[in-house]
Amino acid sequence: MQIQSFKVFSDLAETASFSKAAEINGITQSAVSQQVRAIEKRFHVKLIERGRKNFSLTPEGRAFLEASREILGTLEGLGSQINQLQNMVAGELRIATIFSIGLHELPPYLKIFRRDFPDVDVRVEYKRSSEVYTAVLEGRADLGLVAYPSTRRGIRATTFWRDRLVLICSPAHPLAGRRRLSLSNLNGEKFIAFEPDLPTRREIDRMLRSAGVKVKLALEFDNIETVKRAVEVENGLSIVPETAVRSEVAQGSLQAIEFDGTDVWRPLGALTRRSARISPALREFLDLLENTEIDGFGATPRPRPGPSGQ
Protein backbone atom coordinates (compact mmCIF):
# COMPACT_ATOMS: atom_id res chain seq x y z
CA MET A 1 0.00 0.00 0.00
CA GLN A 2 1.33 3.42 -0.96
CA ILE A 3 1.29 6.55 1.20
CA GLN A 4 -0.95 8.20 -1.39
CA SER A 5 -3.73 5.74 -0.49
CA PHE A 6 -3.96 7.18 3.03
CA LYS A 7 -4.11 10.70 1.60
CA VAL A 8 -6.77 9.80 -0.96
CA PHE A 9 -8.96 8.06 1.61
CA SER A 10 -8.61 10.94 4.07
CA ASP A 11 -9.62 13.46 1.39
CA LEU A 12 -12.53 11.25 0.36
CA ALA A 13 -13.82 11.03 3.91
CA GLU A 14 -13.52 14.79 4.46
CA THR A 15 -15.20 15.79 1.17
CA ALA A 16 -17.65 12.87 0.96
CA SER A 17 -17.08 13.07 -2.79
CA PHE A 18 -15.14 10.77 -5.10
CA SER A 19 -14.86 13.52 -7.71
CA LYS A 20 -13.48 16.11 -5.25
CA ALA A 21 -11.00 13.61 -3.78
CA ALA A 22 -9.85 12.85 -7.32
CA GLU A 23 -9.41 16.54 -8.10
CA ILE A 24 -7.44 17.23 -4.91
CA ASN A 25 -4.98 14.42 -5.66
CA GLY A 26 -4.73 14.96 -9.40
CA ILE A 27 -6.10 11.53 -10.32
CA THR A 28 -9.26 10.20 -11.91
CA GLN A 29 -12.46 9.36 -10.01
CA SER A 30 -12.00 5.76 -11.13
CA ALA A 31 -8.54 5.72 -9.54
CA VAL A 32 -10.05 6.83 -6.22
CA SER A 33 -12.53 3.97 -6.33
CA GLN A 34 -9.79 1.51 -7.22
CA GLN A 35 -7.62 2.60 -4.28
CA VAL A 36 -10.52 2.26 -1.82
CA ARG A 37 -11.37 -1.21 -3.13
CA ALA A 38 -7.70 -2.23 -2.87
CA ILE A 39 -7.63 -1.20 0.80
CA GLU A 40 -10.88 -3.08 1.51
CA LYS A 41 -9.52 -6.18 -0.23
CA ARG A 42 -6.27 -6.07 1.74
CA PHE A 43 -8.00 -5.84 5.14
CA HIS A 44 -11.09 -7.86 4.17
CA VAL A 45 -13.46 -5.15 5.41
CA LYS A 46 -15.89 -2.64 3.97
CA LEU A 47 -14.86 0.98 4.58
CA ILE A 48 -17.73 2.86 2.92
CA GLU A 49 -21.50 2.35 2.97
CA ARG A 50 -22.19 2.52 -0.73
CA GLY A 51 -25.54 4.09 -1.51
CA ARG A 52 -26.98 6.26 -4.20
CA LYS A 53 -27.57 9.36 -2.07
CA ASN A 54 -25.71 9.13 1.22
CA PHE A 55 -21.97 8.82 1.80
CA SER A 56 -20.93 7.35 5.13
CA LEU A 57 -18.07 5.41 6.64
CA THR A 58 -18.42 2.06 8.30
CA PRO A 59 -16.91 1.63 11.79
CA GLU A 60 -13.91 0.06 10.07
CA GLY A 61 -13.78 3.04 7.73
CA ARG A 62 -13.71 5.47 10.65
CA ALA A 63 -10.91 3.48 12.27
CA PHE A 64 -8.97 3.53 9.00
CA LEU A 65 -9.54 7.27 8.66
CA GLU A 66 -8.14 7.89 12.15
CA ALA A 67 -5.10 5.75 11.34
CA SER A 68 -4.65 7.54 8.00
CA ARG A 69 -4.61 10.94 9.68
CA GLU A 70 -2.09 9.71 12.25
CA ILE A 71 0.19 8.28 9.57
CA LEU A 72 -0.01 11.44 7.46
CA GLY A 73 0.68 13.61 10.53
CA THR A 74 3.71 11.49 11.43
CA LEU A 75 4.99 11.73 7.86
CA GLU A 76 4.60 15.51 7.83
CA GLY A 77 6.42 15.78 11.16
CA LEU A 78 9.21 13.56 9.86
CA GLY A 79 9.62 15.81 6.83
CA SER A 80 9.97 18.85 9.08
CA GLN A 81 12.46 17.04 11.29
CA ILE A 82 14.58 15.96 8.31
CA ASN A 83 14.50 19.51 6.95
CA GLN A 84 15.73 20.83 10.30
CA LEU A 85 18.53 18.26 10.36
CA GLN A 86 19.57 19.22 6.84
CA ASN A 87 19.94 22.84 7.92
CA MET A 88 21.49 22.17 11.32
CA VAL A 89 25.14 23.21 11.48
CA ALA A 90 26.47 20.26 13.43
CA GLY A 91 28.38 17.03 12.96
CA GLU A 92 31.90 16.58 11.65
CA LEU A 93 33.91 18.73 9.24
CA ARG A 94 37.12 17.14 7.93
CA ILE A 95 39.73 19.52 6.53
CA ALA A 96 42.89 18.46 4.72
CA THR A 97 45.42 21.25 4.35
CA ILE A 98 49.01 21.89 3.36
CA PHE A 99 51.27 22.87 6.26
CA SER A 100 51.67 26.57 5.49
CA ILE A 101 47.92 27.24 5.26
CA GLY A 102 47.10 25.01 8.22
CA LEU A 103 49.65 26.65 10.48
CA HIS A 104 49.26 30.29 9.43
CA GLU A 105 46.16 31.20 7.39
CA LEU A 106 43.69 28.65 8.76
CA PRO A 107 43.80 29.26 12.56
CA PRO A 108 41.93 32.62 12.52
CA TYR A 109 39.13 31.09 10.47
CA LEU A 110 38.93 28.09 12.79
CA LYS A 111 38.72 30.36 15.82
CA ILE A 112 35.70 32.20 14.43
CA PHE A 113 34.01 29.07 13.08
CA ARG A 114 34.36 27.13 16.34
CA ARG A 115 33.02 30.11 18.25
CA ASP A 116 29.98 30.47 15.98
CA PHE A 117 29.29 26.75 15.47
CA PRO A 118 30.34 24.87 18.61
CA ASP A 119 28.36 21.76 17.62
CA VAL A 120 30.67 21.09 14.66
CA ASP A 121 33.63 18.81 15.31
CA VAL A 122 36.35 20.25 13.04
CA ARG A 123 39.21 17.88 12.33
CA VAL A 124 42.33 19.10 10.53
CA GLU A 125 44.93 16.90 8.85
CA TYR A 126 48.21 18.23 7.43
CA LYS A 127 49.27 16.79 4.09
CA ARG A 128 51.34 17.47 0.99
CA SER A 129 49.48 19.23 -1.80
CA SER A 130 48.99 16.11 -3.94
CA GLU A 131 47.68 14.21 -0.91
CA VAL A 132 45.10 16.93 -0.23
CA TYR A 133 43.63 16.51 -3.72
CA THR A 134 43.50 12.73 -3.24
CA ALA A 135 41.84 12.97 0.18
CA VAL A 136 39.09 15.23 -1.20
CA LEU A 137 38.55 13.13 -4.32
CA GLU A 138 38.30 9.90 -2.30
CA GLY A 139 35.91 11.43 0.23
CA ARG A 140 38.34 11.25 3.15
CA ALA A 141 38.18 15.04 3.52
CA ASP A 142 35.20 17.35 3.11
CA LEU A 143 37.42 20.34 2.32
CA GLY A 144 40.95 20.71 1.01
CA LEU A 145 43.13 23.81 1.32
CA VAL A 146 46.05 24.22 -1.08
CA ALA A 147 48.21 26.84 -2.77
CA TYR A 148 47.85 27.45 -6.51
CA PRO A 149 44.54 25.53 -6.68
CA SER A 150 43.66 23.77 -9.91
CA THR A 151 40.34 22.30 -11.03
CA ARG A 152 40.70 18.60 -11.72
CA ARG A 153 38.32 15.85 -12.70
CA GLY A 154 35.87 15.40 -9.84
CA ILE A 155 37.29 18.39 -7.94
CA ARG A 156 35.89 21.91 -7.64
CA ALA A 157 38.51 24.55 -6.80
CA THR A 158 37.92 28.17 -5.77
CA THR A 159 40.42 30.82 -4.69
CA PHE A 160 39.60 32.43 -1.35
CA TRP A 161 42.79 34.41 -0.60
CA ARG A 162 46.09 35.58 -2.10
CA ASP A 163 49.22 35.78 0.01
CA ARG A 164 52.25 37.90 -0.87
CA LEU A 165 55.53 36.08 -1.44
CA VAL A 166 58.59 37.73 0.14
CA LEU A 167 62.30 37.08 0.38
CA ILE A 168 63.51 36.05 3.84
CA CYS A 169 66.97 36.08 5.33
CA SER A 170 68.62 36.19 8.73
CA PRO A 171 69.46 39.61 10.25
CA ALA A 172 73.16 38.78 9.66
CA HIS A 173 72.80 38.33 5.90
CA PRO A 174 74.34 41.02 3.61
CA LEU A 175 70.88 41.74 2.15
CA ALA A 176 69.37 42.36 5.57
CA GLY A 177 68.26 45.93 6.04
CA ARG A 178 66.95 46.26 2.49
CA ARG A 179 63.29 47.19 2.35
CA ARG A 180 62.85 46.15 -1.26
CA LEU A 181 64.96 44.42 -3.87
CA SER A 182 64.64 42.89 -7.32
CA LEU A 183 64.83 39.22 -8.24
CA SER A 184 68.19 39.92 -9.88
CA ASN A 185 69.68 40.49 -6.42
CA LEU A 186 69.27 36.77 -5.78
CA ASN A 187 71.62 35.76 -8.61
CA GLY A 188 74.35 33.44 -7.28
CA GLU A 189 72.98 33.52 -3.71
CA LYS A 190 72.66 30.49 -1.44
CA PHE A 191 69.02 29.44 -1.59
CA ILE A 192 66.84 27.27 0.65
CA ALA A 193 63.96 25.83 -1.41
CA PHE A 194 60.81 23.81 -1.13
CA GLU A 195 60.88 20.34 -2.66
CA PRO A 196 60.47 20.31 -6.47
CA ASP A 197 57.00 18.73 -6.57
CA LEU A 198 55.36 21.42 -4.42
CA PRO A 199 53.29 24.04 -6.32
CA THR A 200 54.93 26.98 -4.53
CA ARG A 201 58.40 25.69 -5.53
CA ARG A 202 57.32 25.33 -9.15
CA GLU A 203 56.04 28.91 -9.20
CA ILE A 204 59.22 30.26 -7.58
CA ASP A 205 61.34 28.38 -10.13
CA ARG A 206 59.25 29.91 -12.92
CA MET A 207 59.75 33.42 -11.46
CA LEU A 208 63.52 32.98 -11.26
CA ARG A 209 63.77 31.58 -14.79
CA SER A 210 61.70 34.45 -16.18
CA ALA A 211 64.04 36.93 -14.49
CA GLY A 212 67.13 35.08 -15.74
CA VAL A 213 68.24 34.44 -12.15
CA LYS A 214 70.28 31.40 -11.08
CA VAL A 215 70.61 30.68 -7.39
CA LYS A 216 72.86 28.23 -5.55
CA LEU A 217 70.44 25.58 -4.34
CA ALA A 218 71.61 24.51 -0.89
CA LEU A 219 68.74 22.58 0.71
CA GLU A 220 65.20 21.44 -0.11
CA PHE A 221 62.40 20.79 2.37
CA ASP A 222 58.76 19.74 2.16
CA ASN A 223 57.34 22.18 4.71
CA ILE A 224 57.63 25.84 5.46
CA GLU A 225 58.67 25.54 9.11
CA THR A 226 61.83 23.64 8.19
CA VAL A 227 62.60 26.13 5.42
CA LYS A 228 62.46 29.01 7.91
CA ARG A 229 64.73 27.27 10.40
CA ALA A 230 67.23 26.42 7.67
CA VAL A 231 67.35 30.06 6.54
CA GLU A 232 68.18 31.08 10.12
CA VAL A 233 70.84 28.37 10.60
CA GLU A 234 72.42 28.33 7.11
CA ASN A 235 72.33 32.12 6.60
CA GLY A 236 70.73 31.59 3.21
CA LEU A 237 67.76 33.04 1.38
CA SER A 238 64.32 31.75 0.56
CA ILE A 239 61.02 32.96 -0.86
CA VAL A 240 57.98 32.21 1.31
CA PRO A 241 54.44 33.49 2.01
CA GLU A 242 54.49 36.68 4.05
CA THR A 243 51.90 35.43 6.57
CA ALA A 244 54.15 32.47 7.41
CA VAL A 245 56.99 34.63 8.78
CA ARG A 246 55.18 37.42 10.61
CA SER A 247 55.99 35.92 13.99
CA GLU A 248 59.72 35.55 13.20
CA VAL A 249 59.88 39.06 11.72
CA ALA A 250 58.23 40.50 14.84
CA GLN A 251 60.70 38.62 17.04
CA GLY A 252 63.68 39.74 14.91
CA SER A 253 64.91 36.24 14.01
CA LEU A 254 64.15 36.73 10.30
CA GLN A 255 63.79 39.67 7.96
CA ALA A 256 61.18 39.79 5.18
CA ILE A 257 61.94 41.85 2.07
CA GLU A 258 59.42 42.69 -0.66
CA PHE A 259 60.35 42.52 -4.33
CA ASP A 260 60.82 45.85 -6.08
CA GLY A 261 58.45 46.39 -8.99
CA THR A 262 57.10 42.85 -8.72
CA ASP A 263 53.81 41.95 -7.08
CA VAL A 264 54.21 38.28 -6.30
CA TRP A 265 51.05 36.65 -4.98
CA ARG A 266 50.36 33.05 -4.01
CA PRO A 267 46.67 32.10 -4.48
CA LEU A 268 45.13 29.90 -1.81
CA GLY A 269 42.24 27.68 -2.77
CA ALA A 270 39.45 25.55 -1.32
CA LEU A 271 38.82 22.12 -2.84
CA THR A 272 35.54 20.20 -2.67
CA ARG A 273 34.37 17.03 -4.38
CA ARG A 274 31.89 17.75 -7.16
CA SER A 275 29.69 14.74 -6.45
CA ALA A 276 29.55 15.25 -2.68
CA ARG A 277 26.63 16.90 -0.86
CA ILE A 278 27.54 20.24 0.66
CA SER A 279 26.69 19.84 4.34
CA PRO A 280 25.49 22.86 6.37
CA ALA A 281 28.82 22.87 8.23
CA LEU A 282 30.85 22.87 5.01
CA ARG A 283 28.58 25.52 3.49
CA GLU A 284 29.13 27.83 6.47
CA PHE A 285 32.90 27.30 6.44
CA LEU A 286 33.12 28.03 2.70
CA ASP A 287 31.07 31.17 3.26
CA LEU A 288 33.49 32.21 6.01
CA LEU A 289 36.48 31.73 3.68
CA GLU A 290 34.82 33.64 0.87
CA ASN A 291 33.55 36.61 2.85
CA THR A 292 36.32 37.31 5.37
CA GLU A 293 39.99 38.18 5.14
CA ILE A 294 42.86 37.76 7.53
CA ASP A 295 43.91 40.90 9.35
CA GLY A 296 47.44 42.25 9.43
CA PHE A 297 48.77 39.64 11.84
CA GLY A 298 46.46 36.75 11.05
CA ALA A 299 44.77 37.13 14.43
CA THR A 300 41.13 37.56 13.46
CA PRO A 301 39.33 37.67 10.13
CA ARG A 302 37.35 40.79 9.36
CA PRO A 303 34.50 41.41 6.85
CA ARG A 304 35.68 41.87 3.30
CA PRO A 305 34.10 45.09 1.91
CA GLY A 306 34.18 43.99 -1.72
CA PRO A 307 36.50 42.58 -4.39
CA SER A 308 40.03 42.78 -3.07
CA GLY A 309 42.55 44.95 -4.81
CA GLN A 310 45.23 42.32 -4.30
Q: Mind listing the domains of the chain with CATH numbers? A: 3-86 (1.10.10.10), 91-161+267-303 (3.40.190.10), 163-265 (3.40.190.290)
Among the residue ranges 51-60, 149-158, 238-247, the one predicted with the least confidence is: 51-60
Q: Is 222 helix (H, G, I), strand (E, B) or coil?
A: coil
Contact 8, 32 (CB under 8 A): yes
| pTM greater than 0.85 | no
* Residue 299's pLDDT band (cuts 50, 70, 90): very low
Contact 147, 223 (CB under 8 A): no
Query: In angstroms, rounded to a whole number, what is the distance separating the alpha carbons of residues 66 and 48?
Result: 14
Beta-carbon-side half-sphere exposure of residue 173 (alpha carbons within 13 Å): 28
Q: What is the mean pLDDT of the chain?
A: 87
**pLDDT > 90? residue 220:** yes
